[in-house]
Amino acid sequence: MFEHIDAYPGDPILSLNENFQKDPRQNKVNLSIGIYFDDEGRLPVMKAVRAAEAAILEEPGPKPYLPMAGFAQYRDAVQALVFGADCPSRAAGRIATVQTLGGSGALKVGADFIKRYFPGSQVWVSDPTWENHRFIFERAGFTVNTYPYYDEVTGGLKFEAMLSAIDALPAKSVVLLHACCHNPTGVDLDRAQWEQLIDVLQKRDLLPFVDMAYQGFGSGLDDDAFAVRELARRGVPALVANSFSKNFSLYGERCGGLHVICEDAAAADRVLGQLTGSVRANYSNPPTHGAKIVTRVLGTPALKASWEEELAAMCERIARMRAAIHDGLRAHASEAALARYVKQRGMFTYTGLSEKQVERLKAEFGVYILRSGRMCVAGLNEKNVGVVVDAVGKVMKDPA
Ligand code: LMR
């Protein structure tokens, strides 16, 4: 029966992370997966999350299925966080929101929905993008293409090339965008560029699907949502996926949301219905625990303030680590080669290291980064940054 099943080659991120766990070396450093570790190298439990969870556990009760669309208070709180509490599209009931299993769950539910209602559309992702984007959309039956994005030479954005490629797409093409903290490059559009891009998306009747997995890790919770809010403000039909894995450090709870900006409330009602159908066909209904935590934090002003403060402190720590690796590598490379460590935003820096250099980092120094050269700078700390600088400095001497 299963003779024809070929071996799974593994996932470039999750399988590497699993291999890291099995590596017996004491000095190993995990800069592969997009996870924030604190200065002690531990996965933090945020204070607000701890307090909310303690309060929830004080009130044990039955555990019924949640509705297919998820917990109503959660959906409302998440929509407010993503679009802003006073967003007019939200007030007008034009945004359909469902609770999802993290950002990946949102992408999959959204992909299934689009495949059903826009069967002729193809998907366009940035070159490069998060590896799982291609995988999710291809598995949902789409042809996935790329548009220009990252400029290897400058470590910045090829904005003009990106814009003209998108301007040439057929109507109803799905354009996958990263709201902030682009994964894997850490290179984002600025506000003026977003404005121009949204003009094109609108003019060409394209369907943006915005992935916002890192809200709060770029320039703050509101600024990071600029593109999403601008789409909603202009009433541009769009899908948005958001996740609480990173900004709540709730990776294993699988908490996220899928939002669809519609032209009116009647369309939003129908879209919401079809999204719930897509949820039912995938996993019936979402889990409860993480959603209760997020809802309690977002709905309790003191907890929300504590969460925002801790998230801001996490970002400051990442900025210090970016500066530390940048300064440490000065002895090994030019400023032009190193500026990316401090300019790129969020959890990742696209180092430009070759596959061979990446392999050496792992084999000789126990430093794990992705084959693409993506380094998760949120895994650096005062204790391991010296080891990493030393290792990267050594492999930089021998490019190939
Ligand atoms: C990453 O990009 O490393 C994270 O988003 C984890 C994942 O699921 O790939």
Which atom of ligand 1 has the smallest separation from the CA of 130?
A: 2
According to DSSP, the β-strands at 238-243 and 256-261 are antiparallel
Give the Å distance between the CA of 263 and the centre of ligand 1.
Answer: 32
Give the Å distance between the CA of 270 and the centre of ligand 1.
Answer: 32
Instruction: Dump pLDDT digits (tens) for 272-299.
Output: 999 999 999 999 999 999 999 999 999 9
Domain identity same for 228 and 106: yes
Instruction: Dump pLDDT digits (tens) for 145-195.
Output: 999 999 998 899 999 999 999 999 999 999 999 999 999 999 999 999 999
Task: For residue 399, name the pLDDT band (cuts at 50, 70, 90).
Answer: confident
**Which protein residue's CA is at the shortest distance from atom 2 of ligand 1?**
34
Q: The pTM is what? A: 0.97
CATH code of residue 337: 3.90.1150.10
Which atom of ligand 1 has the smallest separation from the CA of 131?
A: 9
**Which protein residue's CA is at the shortest distance from atom 1 of ligand 1?**
34
Which atom of ligand 1 has the smallest separation from the CA of 102?
A: 8
Which atom of ligand 1 has the smallest separation from the CA of 104?
A: 8
Q: Note if 130 is an active site residue.
A: yes
Domain identity same for 295 and 308: no
Domain identity same for 288 and 388: no
Residue 157 lies in a domain: yes
pLDDT above 90 (res 326): yes
Instruction: Dump pLDDT digits (tens) for 50-89.
Output: 999 999 999 988 999 999 999 999 999 999 999 999 999 9
CB distance 375 to ligand 1 below 6 Å: no
pLDDT above 70 (res 400): no
Give the Å distance between the CA of 103 and the centre of ligand 1.
Answer: 10
Tell me the best of 37, 132, 369, 372 to mutate to test the pocket of ligand 1, counting ligand atoms within 8 Å of each CB and taking the most.
Answer: 132
- Residue span of the structural domain in which 229 resides: 65-299
Asked whether the beta carbons of 187 and 344 are under 8 A apart, the reply is: yes
Residue 53 lies in a domain: no
Q: What is the mean pLDDT of residues 358-386?
A: 97
Domain identity same for 109 and 23: no
Instruction: Dump pLDDT digits (tens) for 94-111.
Output: 999 999 999 999 999 999
CATH code of residue 146: 3.40.640.10
Instruction: Determine what percent of the chain is predicted with pLDDT higher than 90.
Output: 98
**Which protein residue's CA is at the shortest distance from atom 4 of ligand 1?**
34
Domain identity same for 285 and 313: no
Q: Note if 397 is an active site residue.
A: no
Question: What DSSP character marks residue 320?
Answer: H
Domain identity same for 187 and 261: yes
Domain identity same for 132 and 258: yes
So what's the pLDDT on residue 357?
97
Task: For residue 398, name the pLDDT band (cuts at 50, 70, 90).
Answer: confident
Convert 159-188 to b/e letters by CB count within 10 Å (16 or more is b). beebbebbeebeeebbbbbbbbbbbbbbbb
Instruction: Dump pLDDT digits (tens) for 297-315.
Output: 999 999 999 999 999 999 9
Average pLDDT over the chain reads: 97
pLDDT above 70 (res 31): yes
Evaluated on CA atoms 373, 376, 379, 385, the torsion sign reads positive
CB distance 34 to ligand 1 below 6 Å: yes
Domain identity same for 166 and 295: yes
* 100 burial type by CB count under 10 A (0-12 exposed, 13-18 middle, 19+ buried): buried
Asked whether the beta carbons of 314 and 248 are under 8 A apart, the reply is: no
Q: Note if 307 is an active site residue.
A: no
Closest CA to 275 of 68, 67, 65: 68
Among 281, 299, 317, give the residue marking a domain's end.
299
Task: For residue 202, name the pLDDT band (cuts at 50, 70, 90).
Answer: very high
So what's the pLDDT on residue 150?
98
Query: What is the number of structural domains in the chain?
Result: 2
Tell me the best of 19, 33, 369 to mutate to test the pocket of ligand 1, counting ligand atoms within 8 Å of each CB and taking the most.
Answer: 33
